[in-house]
Structure 1
Amino acid sequence: MIMSSPADLLITPRRIVSLVPSQTELLYFLGLHNTTVGITKFCIHPKQWQRTKTIIGGTKNILTDKIKQLKPDLIIANKEENVKEQIGQLEKDFALWVTDVNNLNSALLMINDIGQLTNTAVKARLLSEEIKQSFDRLFKTHQKINTAYLIWRNPYMTIGGDTFIHDMLGRCGLQNIFANEKRYPVITTDEMKNRNCNLVLLSSEPYPFKQQHINELQAQLPDTNIVLVNGEMFSWYGCRLLHAVKYLNELITQINTALPDE
Structure 2
Amino acid sequence: MAKTLKDQLGTEHIFETTPKRIVSLVPSQTELLYDLGLEDSIVGITKFCIHPFHLKSTKTIVGGTKNVKIDKIMALQPDVIIANKEENTLEIVESLKGICPVWVTDIISVEDNLKMIEDLGLLFNKRVEAQKWLDKIKFAHQDFLQFVQDQPEKKVAYFIWANPYMVAGNDTFINTLLKLNKWNNIYEAKEGRYPEVELKKMRLEGDPDFVFLSSEPFPFKDEHAFEVGRFTHHAKTAFVDGEMFSWYGTHLFRAFDYFKKIHQRLQ
Question: TM class by shorter-chain length?
Answer: over 0.9
CA deviation map 1:117-153 (0-9, x unaligned): 1111111111012111101122337322111100111
Equivalent pairs, count: 255
In structure 1, the residue matched to 2:6 is: 4
Return the alpha-carbon distance in structure 2 between the equivalents of residues 45 and 125 of structure 1. 21
Give structure 2 stretches of 5+ with no counterpart: none
Query: Aligned pair 1:19/2:30, yes or no?
Result: no
Letter in 2 for 1:183: R
| 224, 249, 252: which one aligns with 2:260 | 249
Return the alpha-carbon distance in structure 1 between the equivalents of residues 259 and 226 of structure 2. 23
SS in structure 2 of the partner of residue 201 of structure 1: strand
Query: Aligned pair 1:186/2:196, yes or no?
Result: yes
Return the alpha-carbon distance in structure 1 between the equivalents of residues 189 and 233 of structure 2. 25
CA deviation map 1:70-102 (0-9, x unaligned): 010010000110010111011123111100001
Q: Offset of 1:210 from its aligned partner?
A: 3.0
CA RMSD of aligned residues (A): 1.7
Return the alpha-carbon distance in structure 2 between the equivalents of residues 192 and 137 of structure 1. 34
| 216, 219, 228: which one aligns with 1:205 | 216
In structure 2, the residue matched to 1:100 is: 106
SS in structure 1 of the partner of residue 125 of structure 2: coil
| 48, 53, 56: which one aligns with 1:47 | 53
Return the alpha-carbon distance in structure 1 between the equivalents of residues 114 and 151 of structure 2. 27
TM normalised by structure 1 equals 0.92
Q: Offset of 1:215 from its aligned partner?
A: 2.2
Bigger mean CA deviation after superposition, 8-17 or 150-159: 8-17
| 89, 92, 95: which one aligns with 2:95 | 89
In structure 2, the residue matched to 1:214 is: 225
In structure 2, the CA distance between the partners of 1:19 and 1:150, relative to structure 1 (3 Å rule), is same
Large movers: runs of 4+ above 4 Å: none
TM normalised by structure 2 equals 0.91
Letter in 2 for 1:150: F
Letter in 1 for 2:188: A
8 Å Cα contact 1:189/1:220 also seen in 2: yes
Letter in 2 for 1:153: A
Return the alpha-carbon distance in structure 2 between the equivalents of residues 210 and 73 of structure 1. 42
Return the alpha-carbon distance in structure 2 between the equivalents of residues 205 and 69 of structure 1. 31
In structure 2, the residue matched to 1:147 is: 156
Return the alpha-carbon distance in structure 2 between the equivalents of residues 122 and 211 of structure 1. 45
| 205, 225, 235: which one aligns with 1:224 | 235
Give structure 1 stretches of 5+ with no counterpart: 258-262
Return the alpha-carbon distance in structure 1 between the equivalents of residues 5 and 142 of structure 2. 32
Letter in 2 for 1:216: E
Return the alpha-carbon distance in structure 1 between the equivalents of residues 232 and 181 of structure 2. 23
| Percent of matched pairs sharing the same residue | 44
